[in-house]
Amino acid sequence: MSVWWRGRVLAGDEPSLAIDRGLLLGDGLFETVHVRDGVAEFLDRHMARLRGSTSALGVPLPAELATTIAEALPRLVVAAGSPPRGALRITATRGTGRGLAPTPTDGGLVLSFDALPDAPRAEPAPAWDATVVDVPRVDPRDPLARHKVLSRMARVEARRTALAAGADVALLVTIDGDVVEGDAANLFVVLGREIVTPPLDRGVLAGITRARCLEAAARRGRTVVERRVELGELADADEALLTSSLDGVRPLRRVGARSLAAPGEAAAWLARCIDLDARDDGRPE
Amino acid sequence: MSVWWRGRVLAGDEPSLAIDRGLLLGDGLFETVHVRDGVAEFLDRHMARLRGSTSALGVPLPAELATTIAEALPRLVVAAGSPPRGALRITATRGTGRGLAPTPTDGGLVLSFDALPDAPRAEPAPAWDATVVDVPRVDPRDPLARHKVLSRMARVEARRTALAAGADVALLVTIDGDVVEGDAANLFVVLGREIVTPPLDRGVLAGITRARCLEAAARRGRTVVERRVELGELADADEALLTSSLDGVRPLRRVGARSLAAPGEAAAWLARCIDLDARDDGRPE
């Protein structure tokens, strides 16, 4: 991992953050941006989401963040050995101060970069096995459920539960029992002829790849229905897939005991469509 | 704040942690220990709770932690100007690594210390106004609810909601609607002649001051009942108080629109009892 902090690139485990509320309380927000050939993809969308969340939750964010990223990214990529793919992490915290009550600060900002293995465009990522976990249960009324907050240990525990069960990833349900997303990705399921994804008001993160899939389908006259997905429906799904910035479209080969087509028709089609649209849009944005 | 990291005391905002899962994911645990005249109070109990939680959640903790604290604490206190009171924060993370799935690491450990204003012994802390917040709702089935995890942004939001409503502290309810604790403290209420506190299986942290109050009352033949407290009962309470390591016993002057005796008889009595017992037990432990 290479790290940018206060205007310079740090070595691997060089200390890089004063103790702040991001560490002490998980009090902050983040974005994980896919980087290909040194280019941060859909950075405008990530920045818009981050600005929306920091503004909603009162977390400071430097006005010159885009400039900082433009300056830091090439140096972070070089420091990581110029890999073909990588993950840029933007971590924005509420700054320093003890106790729950925030004190006015400038906030904390760290940029970090990890190399990722190369992967072909326009194809789904390798399929994963998923399992539905019992906890944590998403509370649709909790405003934090819709923001990419640093407080993610419940998601870590969900992933650990899935790994212990022999799966690769956890699917989360709400306190009302409907299934909403993966532990770090949005969920789409194919039910009969319909592609369905849970709506944001179920406590779902407004994923950037999720939005790109909805747009790509709409542009081609194919409807993706945003509606609540009951656990029983998931058990009857013909196909299921996860979407995220780093993975793009990732088919699910199993959900619990049920085997699914992976990649199925929808996964292959969505992966192709969002890649085409990114090229049409003159990626990089 | 003074900070101990990897064997030395750092200056105020000197960078003090390599980017790790504590910051990136709120993936770790902490303890906040009351320090009076340089002595960490009830440190054995804090260490036992921390070891229980790290063990339950698979977070690494150095075997020589007690030795490290014994070495670091006097230097942290001096670096902070040797105040009469302070807060020692033990922050233990799952170490480095990208993504939700943990990789085996040695974990991360930071000790930090903040001065606190002096306060008399054997007396309740100044009374606070509380308000019941709607979110986050505690899920009693979530195992993380009972551990002091770094992922605490939902608690920060609860506190921000309370402050915006003109109160000092938030009281949290479960998804089932019973009231369970403060945003950073345990809750006791007096209902008629009964002192009541919500049981741990409602998703309540096993507070050290909470346990000391239960022990102090039992030793004197006065029962504190551990049972579920409904919101409607809170509205009828004669007295209510919070307990925590830093505050000891803190009476609530108001809960929502209702005014309460502050300190009431129970708060004054519990504050006196736990101080007496600490002296009898030869504090410091």
Low-confidence ranges of chain A (pLDDT < 70): 5-6, 8, 10-18, 282-285
Output the DSSP codes for B99-156. Answer: SSS------EEEEEEEEE----TTSPPPPEEEEE-SSSPB-TT-GGGGS-BS--HHHH
pLDDT of residue A285: 42
Give the pLDDT confidence of B64-91 residue by residue, as tens digits: 999 999 999 999 999 889 999 999 999 9
pLDDT band per the 50, 70, 90 thresholds, residue B159? very high
* Reported ipTM exceeds the 0.85 cut: yes
Which amino acid belongs to residue A240?
A
The pLDDT assigned to B240 comes to: 98
pLDDT band at B1 (very low <50, low <70, confident <90, very high): confident
Q: From the CA of A13, how many Å to the nearest CA of chain B?
A: 5
Check CB contact under 8 Å for A144 and B153: yes
Contact A15 B13 (CB under 8 A): no
Residue of A nearest to B157 (CA): A57
pLDDT of residue B130: 98
**pLDDT on residue B285:** 42
Residue of A nearest to B136 (CA): A142
Q: What is the pLDDT of residues B167-226, one digit of tens each?
A: 999 999 999 999 999 999 999 999 999 999 999 999 999 999 999 999 999 999 999 999
Judged by CB atoms closer than 8 Å, whether chains meet at A163 and B101 is answered as yes
Nearest CA in chain A to B56: A157
Q: What is the pLDDT of residue A255?
A: 96
Q: Is A252 helix (H, G, I), strand (E, B) or coil?
A: strand
d(CA B88, CA A271): 51
Cα distances (angstroms) measured from residue B36 to each of A139, B117, B207, B268, B272: 40, 11, 19, 21, 17
Q: In percent, how much of chain B has pLDDT > 70?
A: 94
Tally of CB atoms within 10 A around A37: 12
CB contact (8 A) between residue B157 and residue A134: no
Residues B252 and B130: their CA atoms lie apart, in Å, by 7
A143 to chain B: which residues are within 8 Å by CB?
135, 157
- Which residue in this structure is represented by tokens 């560490």? A23
B175 in Cβ contact with B139 (< 8 Å): yes
pLDDT of residue A284: 47
Separation of alpha carbons B186 and B195, rounded Å: 13
What is d(CA A144, CA A155) in angstroms, rounded to the nearest whole number? 13
Distance (Å) of CA A29 to CA A57, B1, B84, B216: 9, 23, 36, 42
The per-residue pLDDT for A3 is: 77
Q: CB of A272 within 8 A of CB of A122?
A: yes
B284 has pLDDT over 80: no
Query: Which chain B residues are Cβ-neighbours of A17 within 8 angstroms?
Result: 15-17, 19, 23
